[in-house]
């Protein structure tokens, strides 16, 4: 050893050393988000498992160009944003109803479960777990979890993809009702939620009984705690119940204990290793825990979620896992402290547990502040509450000086658009020479638009009147002001797509073709005072534009149906759906094939059979599709068609 050498220097990595390069490579491989510019610069091998989240609309970070190179060069490509599904991450997706929040959540699930070259690369699909609880169940209004729609591919975008298997686990006493709720979703299996006796330990039992740390306990609960302490090393739920029965509790105390344990007992009844919830945690499968029930309160639901989360983390799955808290604002609260702490523990150890966590909520204010501090990235869709932005701004890496401009952008976001914050996300920072260097976004952010799904979308809005007969003009289309006349040479451009330029006005003494209007005799014609912007009585009035030409329906020999028709008994007494199926069957017998029929024609046919429906209301078609009887398709002009699924 040289007398001038310092042995302590041997462990100090130099900036150009292999050790330093290894650290940089690790940071690149574990980045939660990466833009297409950065991925092209690094090469696709850096992140071998990734998925397209959507299109990159703009970048707002110091030193970064406002647009990707593909958008600036206009060579037909588009700037994209990728999610690194190869590395564990934690994410928050928020926004009001109709902003695209649920769509984004399903896009993230697709990214982890569906193999398709249009989505990205997925050598090793993950095991997915979704927690769902609907507080509206108390009023009898139960809707299926939107994540369950991943079980069915969208007919127009299916391609060669295969939908993942979807299992929905529900409370045993709600199995009949919940199977009816999910009956219209093909590929979804609904089973009762069961635990094996070995799934329960003392800590999980305390969570199920809604006992938080530091909470002052009633006297009879002290006796229960003594029993649990005596079984700390060898817990048995059967022995625990037997010891509890030997206690001399008053009838009121026994009633309170039974109320707390009744839900757990129902899941343990008949439960064993063969039907335990743990056996559903397998690679490539989506498991939904749907606890929507009139007999379930949010606190009890959080107790079940906490127990199941622990079992999910313990389950062996080498490819990795993803946990989604769907509509978290319906059950996350101060009383869910055990679930919150369990989530934070998972996030702090996510690299060692190979687990990704996504919280989807309308209100970011219900999300624990520590979770916001630990988030890998946040996708903020449209909302209009300054308080929500203030909550996010206190925990995000964004520059506080841009809060006002940020709020203006969030309020103006369109459906599907969002602002993505990811301090460790990677983009390409360009220099004056035209070169570039991959750098973290840091305190910047990007504006994105989520991609289309290849599975069915169950989160669309149900409107009172569905405008399925005519296309809708774009939001940025210019509309003439009241009283203004469109020049003839501009009429074709001013009309919505699919509408023809109105013909010249016909002579006064004859009706225009197709109008059937009789000429007004001159002897009975009364002078009418002309209004500003309207023709006078002596002028020829320009008739209204004729209806758009009807485009031919999609070919009946087009893409074959991807699923079979459900039995008619599953319509649950819906008379209108029964009329629709009967009418389509009659058309199939006449035409010899199950071709597409316009909504308008189908409405006329089922109305003649006694169905009572509002004009332009397509709710009956949506229900029939959810129940698994028909398939709906939209033409390029925006018109809607329906066809019967095969038996």
Structure tokens at 474: 């774009």
Question: Do the strands 426-430 and 436-440 form a parallel or antiparallel pair, or are they unpaired?
Answer: antiparallel
pTM listed for this prediction: 0.72
More confident residue, 216 or 208: 208
CA distances from residue 247 to 200, 239, 264, 425 in whole angstroms, order as listed: 21, 13, 20, 57
For residues 92-113, give the mean pLDDT: 95
For residues 181-197, give the mean pLDDT: 92
For residues 217-222, give the mean pLDDT: 74
pLDDT for residue 612 is more than 90: no
In this prediction, residue 610 carries a pLDDT of 62
pLDDT for residue 585 is more than 70: yes
In this prediction, residue 522 carries a pLDDT of 41
More confident residue, 10 or 393: 393
Distance CA 456, CA 447 (A): 25
More confident residue, 274 or 382: 382
Strand (E) or helix (H) holding 644 = strand 640-644
Per-residue pLDDT reduced to its tens digit, 342-352: 999 999 999 99
Q: How many residues in the chain?
A: 647
Per-residue pLDDT reduced to its tens digit, 193-211: 999 988 998 888 887 776 6
Distance CA 425, CA 82 (A): 10
Instruction: Please report, rounded to a whole number, the percentage of residues in the chain having pLDDT higher than 70.
Output: 74
pLDDT for residue 113 is more than 50: yes
User: Mean pLDDT, the chain, as a whole number?
Assistant: 80
pLDDT for residue 505 is more than 50: no
Per-residue pLDDT reduced to its tens digit, 291-313: 998 888 888 899 899 999 999 99
In this prediction, residue 194 carries a pLDDT of 95
More confident residue, 221 or 322: 322
Identify the weakest region by mean pLDDT among 102-106, 377-381, 409-413, 622-626: 622-626
CA distances from residue 461 to 99, 144, 357, 622, 640 in whole angstroms, order as listed: 11, 15, 27, 11, 16
In this prediction, residue 80 carries a pLDDT of 95
In this prediction, residue 604 carries a pLDDT of 81
In this prediction, residue 25 carries a pLDDT of 83
In the beta sheet, which residues pair with residue 632?
642
Per-residue pLDDT reduced to its tens digit, 447-469: 999 999 999 887 666 666 655 44
Question: Do the strands 355-361 and 321-325 form a parallel or antiparallel pair, or are they unpaired?
Answer: parallel
Structure tokens at 269: 């009844």
In this prediction, residue 73 carries a pLDDT of 63
Strand (E) or helix (H) holding 391 = helix 386-393
Distance CA 394, CA 333 (A): 19
pLDDT class of 523 with cuts at 50, 70, 90: very low
In this prediction, residue 473 carries a pLDDT of 54
* Residues in Cβ contact with 405 at an 8 Å cutoff, skipping those fewer than 6 apart: none
pLDDT for residue 383 is more than 90: yes
In the beta sheet, which residues pair with residue 597?
642
In this prediction, residue 489 carries a pLDDT of 44
pLDDT class of 514 with cuts at 50, 70, 90: very low
pLDDT for residue 215 is more than 60: no
For residues 533-554, give the mean pLDDT: 46
Q: Contact 518/509 with Cβ under 8 angstroms?
A: no
In the chain, the domains with their CATH numbers are 29-196+271-450 (3.40.50.300), 197-268 (no CATH), 568-644 (1.10.10)
pLDDT for residue 148 is more than 90: yes
CA distances from residue 627 to 313, 458, 569 in whole angstroms, order as listed: 34, 12, 10
Distance CA 48, CA 85 (A): 9
Nearest to 308 by CA among 291, 292, 329: 291
CA distances from residue 337 to 70, 134, 283, 306 in whole angstroms, order as listed: 46, 19, 29, 10
In this prediction, residue 74 carries a pLDDT of 54
């Amino acid at each position: 050893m040289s007398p001038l050498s310092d042995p302590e220097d041997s462990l100090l990595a130099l900036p150009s050393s292999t050790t330093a390069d290894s650290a940089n490579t690790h940071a690149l491989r574990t980045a939660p988000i990466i833009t297409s510019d950065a991925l092209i610069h690094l090469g696709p091998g850096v992140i071998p498992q990734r998925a397209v989240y959507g299109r990159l609309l703009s970048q707002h970070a110091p030193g970064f160009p406002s647009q990707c190179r593909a958008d600036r060069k206009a060579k037909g490509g588009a700037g994209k944003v990728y999610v690194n599904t190869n590395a564990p991450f934690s994410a928050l997706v928020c926004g009001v109803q109709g902003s695209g929040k649920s769509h984004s959540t399903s896009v993230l699930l697709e990214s982890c479960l569906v193999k398709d070259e249009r989505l990205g690369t997925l050598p090793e699909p993950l095991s997915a777990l979704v927690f769902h609880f609907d507080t509206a169940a108390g009023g009898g209004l139960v809707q299926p979890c939107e994540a369950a729609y991943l079980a069915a591919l969208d007919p127009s975008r299916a391609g060669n993809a295969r939908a993942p298997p979807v299992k929905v686990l529900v409370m045993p006493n709600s199995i009949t009702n919940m199977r009816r709720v999910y009956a219209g979703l093909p590929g979804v299996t609904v089973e009762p939620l069961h635990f094996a006796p070995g799934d329960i330990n003392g800590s999980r039992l305390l969570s199920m009984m809604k006992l938080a740390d530091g909470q002052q306990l009633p006297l009879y609960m002290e006796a229960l705690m003594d029993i649990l302490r005596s079984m700390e090393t060898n817990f048995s739920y059967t022995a625990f119940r037997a010891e509890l029965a030997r206690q001399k509790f008053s009838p009121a105390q026994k009633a309170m204990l039974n109320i707390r344990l009744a839900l757990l007992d129902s899941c343990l009844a008949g439960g064993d290793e063969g039907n335990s919830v743990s056996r559903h945690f397998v690679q490539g499968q989506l498991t939904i825990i749907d606890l929507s029930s009139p007999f379930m309160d949010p606190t009890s639901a959080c107790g079940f979620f906490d127990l199941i989360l622990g079992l999910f983390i313990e389950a062996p799955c080498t490819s990795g896992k993803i946990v989604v808290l769907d509509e978290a604002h319906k059950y996350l609260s101060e009383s869910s402290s055990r679930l919150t702490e369990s989530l934070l523990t998972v996030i702090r150890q996510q690299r060692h547990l190979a687990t990704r966590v996504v919280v989807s909520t309308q209100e970011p204010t219900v999300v624990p502040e520590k979770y916001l501090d630990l988030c890998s990235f946040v996708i903020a869709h449209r909302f209009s509450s300054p308080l929500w932005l203030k909550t996010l701004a206190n925990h995000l890496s964004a520059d506080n000086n841009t809060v006002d401009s940020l709020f203006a952008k969030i309020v103006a976001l369109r459906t599907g658009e969002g602002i993505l914050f990811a301090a460790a996300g990677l983009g390409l920072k360009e220099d004056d020479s035209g070169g570039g260097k991959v750098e973290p976004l840091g305190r910047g952010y990007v504006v994105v638009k989520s991609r289309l799904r290849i599975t069915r979308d169950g989160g669309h809005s149900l409107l009172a009147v569905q405008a399925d007969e005519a296309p809708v003009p774009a939001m940025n289309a210019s509309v003439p002001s009241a009283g203004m006349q469109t020049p003839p040479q501009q009429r074709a451009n001013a009309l919505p797509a699919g509408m023809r330029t109105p013909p010249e006005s016909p002579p006064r003494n004859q009706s225009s073709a197709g109008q059937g209007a009789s000429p007004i005799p001159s002897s009975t014609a009364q002078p009418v005072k002309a209004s500003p912007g309207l023709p006078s009585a002596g002028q020829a009035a320009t008739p209204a534009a004729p209806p758009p030409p009807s485009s031919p329906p999609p070919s009946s020999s087009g893409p074959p149906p991807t699923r079979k028709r459900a039995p008619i008994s599953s319509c649950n007494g819906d008379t209108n759906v029964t009329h629709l199926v009967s009418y389509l069957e009659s058309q199939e017998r006449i035409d010899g094939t199950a071709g597409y029929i316009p909504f308008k024609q189908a409405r006329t046919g089922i109305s003649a059979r006694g169905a009572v429906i509002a004009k332009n209301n397509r709710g009956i078609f949506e229900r029939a599709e959810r129940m698994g009887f028909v398939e709906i398709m939209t033409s390029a002009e925006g018109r809607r068609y329906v066809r019967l699924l095969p038996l």
